[in-house]
Amino acid sequence: MKKKLLAAILCVATCACLLMGCGGSSSSDSAEGSSQADASAVTTVTEGVLTMATNAYFPPYEYYDGSEIVGIDAEIAKAVADKLGLELQIQDMEFDSIITAVQTGKVDIGLAGMTVTDERKQSVNFTDTYAEGIQSIIVKEGSDIKSADDLKGKKIGVQLSTTGDIYATDDYGKENVEEYNKGNDAVQALVTGKVDAVIIDNQPAISYVASNEGLVILDTEYVKEEYAGCISKDNEELLEAINGALAELKEDGTIQGILDKYIVSE
């Protein structure tokens, strides 16, 4: 049974190769021979490896469990890498550096609960989306800020270069926005009274509020958005391969299973 399947895959791969005139590095067979796909079909920064950039302070999308980076994005990336016959390696960096790392070919994909925006689309290609995000507003319990309108003239903490930063700056003015490298630093600034509110994605907001006393999330969806991976505009082939893998992982319920495992409602 398995042999037949393997023979069929080999046949399809050979035919595709003949049709497309594959050549070159014939020595690099798929990583550990474990996967459905042929790693040599895509070009990556390091042969046989899918190098992912993230900012691992964004639970439940990415966070440290001991020394390991886990979460929705890590699991989705692993499933995609398996499909493509690649080994996954994750690099943690500031959120602000991810797009540049992708653009300059230091990593293959940025996967970081990253919102698709028109501005970012000018620098990178986005994969198909895999999750929805909501920008939430966190305040201290008993705060006089009850809605987005009440934020006018208040100090707002955000994570640098995130969409929360962009919207807050647009809507309330740069002088009212304090940028922090990590979402959690913005939340600590709220706890210690340096800012009056934090605008950040809903799922990390839930997690930060659960781990810090005296904070609440306003019952308002400030902005709704979609998350996707970003890939260099110079590697359309990888974009297509990853979209193909994502489509299969959506179809067979893997992505939904990963989301259900981590996503919580308040």
Where does this chain touch ligand ARG (CB under 6 A) — which range of 37-45, 108-116, 208-216, 240-248? Answer: 108-116
The pair of structure tokens assigned to 189 is 């600034």
Q: What is the DSSP letter of 29?
A: P
Number of H helices, E strands in the chain: 9, 13
Q: At CB < 8 A and 24+ separation, what contacts does 151-154 make? A: 151/196, 151/197, 154/196, 154/197
Where does this chain touch ligand ARG (CB under 6 A) — which range of 9-17, 54-62, 173-181, 253-261? Answer: 54-62
User: Does position 207 bind ligand ARG by CB under 6 A?
Assistant: no
Q: Which is nearer to ligand ARG, 37 or 102 (CB)?
A: 102
The pair of structure tokens assigned to 20 is 């497309």
> Angle of helix 72-84 relative to helix 254-262, nearest 10 degrees?
160
Q: Which of 59, 69, 75, 95 binds ligand ARG (CB under 6 A)?
A: 95
> Would you mind telling me the total number of residues written for the chain in this entry?
266
Q: What residues contact residue 205 under an 8 Å CB cut-off, 6+ apart?
A: 136, 138, 198, 217
The pair of structure tokens assigned to 96 is 């602000």
Where does this chain touch ligand ARG (CB under 6 A) — which range of 77-85, 113-121, 142-150, 185-193? Answer: 113-121
In whole angstroms, give the CA distance from residue 246 to residue 89: 18
- Smallest gap from Cβ 109 to ligand ARG, in A, equals 13
In whole angstroms, give the CA distance from residue 257 to residue 242: 18
Where does this chain touch ligand ARG (CB under 6 A) — which range of 16-24, 64-72, 159-167, 230-238? Answer: 159-167
Where does this chain touch ligand ARG (CB under 6 A) — which range of 32-40, 56-64, 167-175, 208-216? Answer: 56-64
Q: Which is nearer to ligand ARG, 183 or 229 (CB)?
A: 183
User: Does position 201 bind ligand ARG by CB under 6 A?
Assistant: yes
In whole angstroms, give the CA distance from residue 91 to residue 104: 15
User: Does position 203 bind ligand ARG by CB under 6 A?
Assistant: no
In whole angstroms, give the CA distance from residue 203 to residue 197: 16
Q: Which of 38, 62, 87, 178 binds ligand ARG (CB under 6 A)?
A: 62
Q: Which is nearer to ligand ARG, 40 or 55 (CB)?
A: 55
Q: Which of 51, 125, 136, 163 binds ligand ARG (CB under 6 A)?
A: 163
Residues at the interface with ligand ARG (CB under 6 A): 54-55, 57-58, 61-62, 95, 112-115, 133, 159, 162-163, 183, 201
